[in-house]
Amino acid sequence: MNDAAPVVYLLHGDDSYAQRQFIETLVEKMGDPSMAEMNTSRLEGSDLTLDALRTAVSAVPFLAERRLVMAENTSRRFNSQDIQEKFINLLEQLPQSTALVLLEDKRLPDNHWLMKWTDQAGGRAYTRPMEVPKGADLVK
């Protein structure tokens, strides 16, 4: 039985607070805060390219078990079929020493290409919808 931690975490939805809380938990698990900071990368906007992501996820952790790499809105950034295939290839080759957190600011439908990949990835991927509670759910 494989008890290895996932290498891809897909957090999708409009609850940025819940996403931050989840990331804080991952950072805490990395141990010493200064080492965690040295082993954390965040890619967003124009900084998020396939080459930049490949470099970040391939780096060996420094005095830690894992690296934490966060990438924002990859589903919109990587929107052509060619780049999606390259991105999925990268996801399938991630080392166990990397925790890649994909942050999407909208909930992805079940038939989305990224959701389809996480469904077939098994224990290598963890998916969690995070939406701001509304109506009666807000009261809870």
Q: Note the pLDDT of residue 34.
A: 86
Q: At what angle do helices 113-120 and 81-92 cross, to 10 degrees?
A: 20
What is the helix (H) or strand (E) element at residue 40, kind and residue range?
strand 40-43
Contacts 24+ apart (CB under 8 A), 119-122: 121/8, 121/91, 121/92
Q: How many CB atoms lie within 10 A of CB 87?
A: 22
Q: Note the pLDDT of residue 1.
A: 39
Tokens representing 45 are 């906007």
Q: Which residues in the chain land under pLDDT 50?
A: 1
